[in-house]
Amino acid sequence: MDRVHITDVAPRDGLQNQAVHASTAHKLALVERLAAAGIGSVEITSFVSPKAVPQMADAADLLPQVQARLPALRSSVLVPNRKGLERAHAAGAHEIAVVLSATETMNRKNINMGLDEAIAVSEQTLQAALALGLRTRAYVAVAFDCPFEGETPLDRVVDLSLRMTKAGAHEIVIADTIGSASPGMVKERMGALTQAIAADKLAVHFHDTRGMGAANAWAALEAGIRRFDASVGGIGGCPFAPGAAGNLATEDLVLLAERSGFSTGISLPGLLDAIDLAQEVLQRPLGGRSIAWLRKQRDSASGTHLKRPQGLHQSPTQLAPPPG
């Protein structure tokens, strides 16, 4: 059976823009529940400026704890530049990701650099990471539309993806940062990209701003893409991209893939356990478009009405994932 590989980005992309700050213990508990559900790859945190993104200020504390508790998990972290890479390496990172926005204005708004300078920084950071023996990912952000410049030229997205590949990125993640893509756009862009770069080196990262996250995922599957980012419960939204809503929910993607003949190795009930914890931590309802149906299925299987978890009243040790 054809395998779909999912990287859950809830601990990083999901939590970085939340009003409620999750503690290190709660972040660790969330990652443990994701791993217990069968998620094999998680974007743990980012080594960015704590002033710019205070929710990620505990990166150097969180990453070693995750790797000690879950040594088999593929744990990646985002780094903005060489300084962030140095911090991540000192914390024991095995895999890093850089983010390159595909437009001049987005780079200036996000990192106060022009596009050419941002390309150079990304290339230098990837090359330095390779020299350290780290695995690498490169995001090409606003790869469909930019909130400031409108539609991003396709030839530029292909060119930047090739440049990041040549700089040493093991995986290129095409990101619909503001959730403006449609299935037709996905088909066109991924078709062009797979002509330039092997499909198994490409991944996609969708947001669900306009309600088309799952439809876009299906278009990517039809284009031969088998690597996806998603966020459990649909948590997310870029703090530097106006209008960016939550990410494509991991549970929606798993349901779509499994019901369409693909395998993921991920347990939907296990994902519900992770969502239950995240709801308690963030103090608001969470879940993708399938959440009501998934909860009903779990209720029917258990024969009882689900109660909200009591995770916030437990110690970090007690917040370990449930058996199995």
Distance CA(160)–CA(74), nearest Å, equals: 25
Answer yes or no: are the C-beta atoms of 234 and 246 closer than 8 Å: yes
Residue whose structure tokens are 């991944």: 203
End-to-end CA distance of the chain: 23
Distance CA(62)–CA(51), nearest Å, equals: 18
Angle (CA) 226-247-116 rounded to 5° is: 80
Q: Which residues are catalytic?
A: 238
Distance CA(70)–CA(90), nearest Å, equals: 19
Among 321, 259, 324, residue whose Cα is nearest residue 290: 259
Answer yes or no: are the C-beta atoms of 206 and 217 closer than 8 Å: yes
Distance CA(87)–CA(203), nearest Å, equals: 26
Token pair in block for residue 123: 């290339």
Distance CA(180)–CA(163), nearest Å, equals: 24
CB atoms within 10 A of CB 83: 13
Distance CA(125)–CA(82), nearest Å, equals: 5
